[in-house]
Every structure is written in C-alpha cells, then in structure tokens.
Amino acid sequence: MAHRPERENIGRQASVSGFANEHIVVGILMQKYSNVSLVDLPLSSYDIVLVKKHNDVDDFIRIQVKTAKSTVSFVSGSRGGVDRNYDREDNTSKEYRQSTITSDVVCGIHANDDNSFDLYFVPTILIEELNQKSISISKISGLKDYRFLENCKDKDWVIQRARELEII
C-alpha cells in the first residue's frame, strides 16, 4: 500500500478532534452533574462515566462520545488500538454498533459556527430500536434534552419520548 501523507494527516486531526471533544463533553457534563470523569481504561467501549444517585445508590452511566458533523455515528472500533485485529494475515478493525452491552448512551457533539456546542444524547436502548449505523442530527434535535441522558436506562421512557419526537 502506498504511503499517503494526506490521509495520515486527516486521520491524526480526526483523532485529536475526538480527544478534544471528549474533554469538552466531560467539562460540560461536570458543570451540570459534578460526578463525571473521563475513563482511563484502554479496553473500555465508552469514554466517560457519569455517576448519579438513584434511590441512594450510585448509578453509573457509560457515555460514548462521537463527533457529529451532520450525523451521529453509532459505530465504533473502526480505527486502531484495542479495536483492531493485528493478525499478520487479517489486519482488520473490529467494527461494532454501540448497544446496551457496550455503553448506555452515545453523546454526539456538534460544533456550531459561533464556537458553541450542541450535545445529542442517544440512549443505546434507542440505537437498538433504530437498528442503523447513524442518524442525521436534523432528525434528533429533541435529543439535546438532558433527560435523555438522565433516563437513558429507562426503556419505556426512552421509547415513548422517541415516538413523540417522531424519531421512531
């Protein structure tokens, strides 16, 4: 395979943007919920943990951050690191769609022209119901509601609200 420096630069910039967006999301969530942290686990399928009290018990919400330009992708594992098979014969990615097994919510972060950010909270319960790899941000403006993050594990609530918003 020929060396393609322009692809390499695009990949590096995407990686840097992804890390920056994780920090932006954790900062925004920390202002609102306090008990929020980036995950420093190399084999983790999520980027952030938010801990909130539910009936005097700590409830952990696992958040996967995705940079959202025009869509929020639900697919992970397509780059290097732990999500890659480095076998000499089969150097492929281990691509998978986010689900309730891998995280509780996908947070799409969209940078606006005025340097502000929109966060879209897509519960993995909804991702499993949609059964698709991504969704246009124009279809999910209602998911900017923080209640989708707070109630991401409540299947009845998530499905009912998604139907009301005509997402499903």
Could you tell me the pLDDT band of residue 95, with boundaries at 50, 70 and 90? confident
Which residue, among 61, 132, 139, 137, has the nearest Cα to 97 in the 3D structure?
Answer: 132
Helix (H) or strand (E) holding 57: strand 57-67
The total number of structural domains in the chain stands at: 1
Q: Judge whether residue 15 has pLDDT over 80.
A: no
Give the pLDDT confidence score for residue 61 in this predicted structure: 98
CA distances, 101 to each of 7, 15, 36, 131, 163 (Å): 32, 24, 20, 15, 23
**CA distance linking residue 21 with residue 11, whole number of Å:** 15
**CA distance linking residue 93 with residue 104, whole number of Å:** 22
- 132: domain CATH number is 3.40.1350
Q: Judge whether residue 80 has pLDDT over 60.
A: no
Q: Are 27 and 48 in contact (CB under 8 A)?
A: no
Output the pTM of the full model. 0.85
**CA distance linking residue 116 with residue 152, whole number of Å:** 24
Which one is predicted more confidently, 111 or 19? 111
**Domain coverage including residue 92:** 5-164
